[in-house]
């Protein structure tokens, strides 16, 4: 079935035969109306909507850039951080041999899942075919070179439901193998078959959050490679914690779920053992949100951000943001784009801002009742902090 035929089925099932009342469907409506397609939406005119998009597609690259600029302006977003997987063939072509220059609204994040998992065999294979020494220093140089190429905002990895760290284990010099061999076969997983010139696996599909890693605390690749380079380059490590991969394997990438409760102690140990590394973290389960706030109040090298994936719905955004304001004030980032499709920037930010505004209104009302009346300048300052200012302040924080 063609993409257009698939779209016809989805449109009919979710927007014609049923009312688009879910958050995801309502988001599509918000986005289309923001693009001045109210008439097409009112008339359920799918072909009219397609004509709008064809105007950009038919212009090729120029149309892509025009559409991208429009989306950012409509969404009111200054910049976003991309999840970049340099071992995906499609992505690597835009980084090597010559790095493509991107507009300032795009920043990069470098996926490092296999280094956390410590898969020695897979990493050594990659170093060998890429022409690096099969040593710890060779692995460090490999990571440094990709940092030079991508100039990432931070390192990044997502972790599964059985994300663990062991107590009282040596962090270096331990010969270990990976604990999640299937995860190593995914994009940015140091695959066995790597092109010497593009250094990427041809089978990679580029899924942004489909790679799950289990941190192997005893691996020297964690302590002597990843953490060393993070310290050396002053790069934070962003962790998305709590996805339960493949709960319905028949759905493939769409079959992931959420763990009821992820062990937050692993994050506490990372912050404690690597005090010179900044950690950005978000949890997928509601059950971890309180613990995350407590950890953020205890570790100066930890910053909590956003409402990720299944938490990115209005009712949960409201609950999570209220909790964070009550416990952390404005020392967190209220939301992140969490968009796998560019257009999602429009509705996710519009919906999130509306919810967060209600939360702040209630919190300011309570503060006024207690006897403190904020000025307009103070309110604006708080909003700037919650929507990026606190993050940028954290990124500049000295941990020496």
pLDDT in tens, 303-352: 999 999 999 999 999 999 999 999 999 999 999 998 989 999 999 999 99
Find the largest Cα–Cα distance for the chain: 66
Is residue 169 within 8 Å of 215, Cβ to Cβ? no
Lowest mean pLDDT across 138-147, 184-193, 244-253, 292-301? 184-193
- Asked whether the predicted pLDDT for residue 22 surpasses 90, the reply is yes
Q: Buried b vs exposed e over 266-292: b needs ≥16 C-beta within 10 Å?
A: bbbbbbeebeebbbbbbbbbbebbebb
Is residue 261 within 8 Å of 289, Cβ to Cβ? no
pLDDT of residue 128: 84
Is residue 360 within 8 Å of 326, Cβ to Cβ? no
Give the whole-angstrom CA distance, residue 30 versus residue 19.
14
pLDDT of residue 264: 86
In the DSSP assignment, the letter for residue 385 is I
Give the whole-angstrom CA distance, residue 115 versus residue 22.
38
- Using 50, 70 and 90 to split pLDDT, how confident is the model at 218? low
- Using 50, 70 and 90 to split pLDDT, how confident is the model at 372? very high
Lowest mean pLDDT across 75-84, 206-215, 230-239, 309-318? 206-215
Residues 6+ apart with CB under 8 A from 179: 117, 118, 214, 216
Give the whole-angstrom CA distance, residue 191 versus residue 185.
6
Give the whole-angstrom CA distance, residue 389 versus residue 366.
24
Residues 6+ apart with CB under 8 A from 397: 278, 300
- Asked whether the predicted pLDDT for residue 394 surpasses 60, the reply is yes
Q: Buried b vs exposed e over 197-212: b needs ≥16 C-beta within 10 Å?
A: ebbbbeebeeebbbbb
pLDDT of residue 214: 54
Give the whole-angstrom CA distance, residue 252 versus residue 53.
29
pLDDT of residue 223: 85
pLDDT of residue 164: 60
pLDDT of residue 123: 78
Is residue 385 within 8 Å of 305, Cβ to Cβ? no
Give the model confidence (pLDDT) of 86-128 as tens digits: 666 677 778 888 787 888 899 999 988 777 766 677 778 778 8
Is residue 235 within 8 Å of 150, Cβ to Cβ? no
């Amino acid at each position: 079935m063609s993409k257009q035929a698939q779209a016809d089925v989805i449109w009919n099932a979710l927007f014609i035969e049923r009312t688009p009342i879910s958050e995801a469907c309502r988001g599509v409506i918000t986005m289309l109306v923001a693009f001045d397609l109210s008439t097409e939406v009112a008339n359920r005119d799918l072909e009219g909507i397609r004509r709008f998009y064809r105007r950009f597609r038919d212009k090729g690259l120029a149309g892509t850039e025009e559409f991208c600029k429009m989306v950012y302006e409509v969404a009111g977003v200054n910049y976003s951080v991309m999840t970049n997987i340099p071992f995906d063939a499609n992505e690597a072509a835009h980084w090597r041999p010559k790095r493509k220059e991107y507009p300032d609204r795009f920043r990069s994040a470098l996926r490092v899942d296999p280094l956390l998992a410590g898969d020695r065999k897979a990493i050594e294979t990659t170093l060998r075919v890429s022409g690096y020494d099969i040593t710890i220093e060779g692995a460090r140089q490999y990571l440094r070179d990709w940092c030079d190429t991508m100039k990432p905002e931070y390192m990044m990895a997502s972790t599964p439901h059985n994300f663990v760290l062991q107590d009282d284990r040596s962090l270096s010099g331990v010969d270990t193998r990976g604990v999640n061999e299937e995860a190593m076969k995914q994009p940015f997983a140091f695959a066995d078959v790597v092109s010497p010139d593009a250094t990427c696996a041809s089978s990679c599909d580029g899924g942004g959050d489909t790679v799950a890693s289990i941190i192997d605390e005893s691996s020297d690749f964690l302590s002597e490679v990843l953490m060393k380079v993070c310290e050396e380059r002053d790069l934070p490590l962003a962790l998305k914690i709590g996805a339960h991969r493949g709960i319905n394997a028949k759905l493939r990438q769409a079959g992931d779920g959420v763990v009821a409760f992820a062990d937050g102690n692993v994050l506490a140990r990372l912050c404690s053992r690597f005090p010179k590394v900044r950690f950005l973290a978000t949890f997928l389960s509601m059950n971890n949100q309180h613990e995350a706030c407590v950890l953020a109040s205890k570790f100066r090298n930890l910053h909590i951000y956003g409402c990720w994936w299944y938490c990115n719905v209005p009712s949960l955004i409201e609950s999570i943001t209220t909790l964070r304001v009550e416990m952390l004030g404005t020392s967190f980032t209220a939301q992140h784009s969490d968009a796998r499709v560019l257009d999602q920037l429009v509705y996710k930010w519009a919906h999130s801002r509306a919810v967060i505004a209600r939360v702040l209104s209630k919190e300011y009302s309570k503060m006024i009742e207690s006897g403190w009346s904020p000025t307009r300048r103070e309110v604006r300052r708080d909003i700037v902090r919650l929507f990026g200012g606190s993050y940028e302040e954290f990124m500049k924080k000295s941990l020496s």
